Amino acid sequence: MIIRKLQVANFRNLEDVSVEPHPRLNYFHGPNGAGKTSVLEALVVLSRGRSFRTTQAAELIGPHSDTFRVFAAAESGSGQLHRLGLERSGKRWRGRKDGNDLSQLSQLTRSLPLVLMEPDSHMLVSGSPEVRRRYLDWGMFHVEPGFLETWRSFSKALKQRNAALRRNQPAVLDSIDDVLAIHAEELSRHRRSHCDAISSNIHTMLGELNAGLSHISLEYLKGWSNEDYGQHLRSVRAKDLERGMTTSGPHRADLGLSSGTSWARAVLSRGEQKVLAAALLLTQAELLLRSGELPVILLDDLASEFDRSHFENVLQRALAVGGQVWVTGTRKSDLQAPLSMFHVEQGRVREVV
């Protein structure tokens, strides 16, 4: 997708912003707290229905009304223009595409694939398994049409099993376990497939970023021991009944990142973790491109996270994907590539000619 126009109203400190970005590279600069990250955050919320900065949606609503609105005119790879909109008022979300109300916000995500790199992206290496599961799931959502339904079916069956465990209903578990096992095995196949694709391509990306990380390996850790998941559920039922929850399965899965014989999070420096995270995200962007998706790539304040050489390498690889790139920074850019530059101050955005 190429964003042709972005309009944001009452989103954090952005009262009324309208931007017509460059199709390739856009740079937003200004002092800390000006609203640069909020511009990118608005795009993320439009695509994913949630922020990468807070879990409290009410924090996104600005002071001028009880509703925020984000609208984008986005051009697909085939040249078709789509109108995407999202608003939040109280606890009510409303998503629209081409003038039609959407029943699920995931329909916006499907329409506007994004890859986000921001100062906390190193948590993809050092953070909890949940962060890495989301990374795998987001990639599969865009390359495997049936993934979302599989994930939802697994999540529903897991919730039912946990309820039966808390109520001590072994007879109910007999029927639920078979259903849960089917969806768990399918979910794991999807995730393992994406992990294998990333593993096959990430060393090329690490080399292009001049990362100096030649001993990185990836492994999908499915969240239970080697046997069939249905058999596994029966073998751990007594323990699960005692704890009132399903203690193992795809909801405990992880993307194992190793450096040599050790976990990457244990031996890599913070700077190395950031470069590895960048390689993971850019590799995923390239896989999306191969599957027919053209993601918008957002790079938030990376100049403060990398030295100049690594920043330029990341930016050049992002541009090489072929889509639109949005960058924020505190200083005016000296980039030589064709771009549009915007100055952000006190929630106002103006293009610098």
Task: Name the pLDDT band for 332 (thresholds 50, 70, 90).
Answer: confident
In a domain, 257, yes or no: no
For 58-83, write each residue's pLDDT tens digit.
888 888 888 899 999 999 877 889 99
325: containing domain: 1-113+295-353
From 231, 273, 232, 268, select the one nearest 252 (Cα to Cα).
232
For 132-172, write each residue's pLDDT tens digit.
999 999 989 888 888 999 999 999 999 999 999 999 998 89
From 43, 4, 80, 28, select the one nearest 303 (Cα to Cα).
28
Residue 24's Cβ-count burial label (10 Å; 0-12, 13-18, 19+) is middle
Half-sphere exposure of 279 (CA within 13 A, CB side): 29
Of 353 and 178, the one with more pLDDT: 178
Mean pLDDT within 175-201: 95
In a domain, 210, yes or no: no
In a domain, 339, yes or no: yes
In a domain, 74, yes or no: yes
At 246, list the tokens: 């399903």
User: Strand order of the sheet with strand 340-345?
Assistant: 114-117, 296-299, 325-329, 25-29, 340-345, 348-352
Q: Is pLDDT of 53 > 90?
A: no
In a domain, 240, yes or no: no
* Phi, psi (deg, nearest 5) at residue 262: -120, 160
pTM here is 0.90
In a domain, 8, yes or no: yes
Of 292 and 160, the one with more pLDDT: 160
Q: Rounded to the nearest 10 degrees, how much is the dihedral formed by the CA atoms of 335, 339, 343, 344?
A: -110
299 in helix, strand or coil?
Answer: strand
* Rounded CA separation 161/173 (Å): 6
Average pLDDT over all residues of the chain: 90
From 229, 234, 231, select the one nearest 249 (Cα to Cα).
229
| pLDDT for position 239 | 95
| pLDDT for position 99 | 87
Percent of the chain as helix, strand, coil, to the nearest 5? 45, 25, 30
DSSP secondary structure letters along 268-290: S-HHHHHHHHHHHHHHHHHHHHH
Partnered with residue 75 across adjacent β-strands are: 2, 81
DSSP symbol at 89: E
| pLDDT for position 137 | 93
| pLDDT for position 290 | 87
Q: Is pLDDT of 339 > 90?
A: no
Give the domain CATH number at 53.
3.40.50.300
Mean pLDDT within 320-329: 90
From 295, 223, 267, select the one nearest 276 (Cα to Cα).
267
In a domain, 245, yes or no: no
Mean pLDDT within 179-195: 95
Q: Is pLDDT of 105 > 90?
A: no
Task: Name the pLDDT band for 196 (thresholds 50, 70, 90).
Answer: very high
At 32, list the tokens: 């800390």
CB 287 within 8 A of CB 197: yes
DSSP symbol at 53: S
> Based on the structure, what is the number of domains in the chain?
1
For 252-276, write each residue's pLDDT tens digit.
999 999 999 999 999 999 989 999 9
Element (H, E) at 22: none
| pLDDT for position 160 | 96
CB 210 within 8 A of CB 203: no
Task: Name the pLDDT band for 337 (thresholds 50, 70, 90).
Answer: confident
DSSP symbol at 231: H
In a domain, 279, yes or no: no
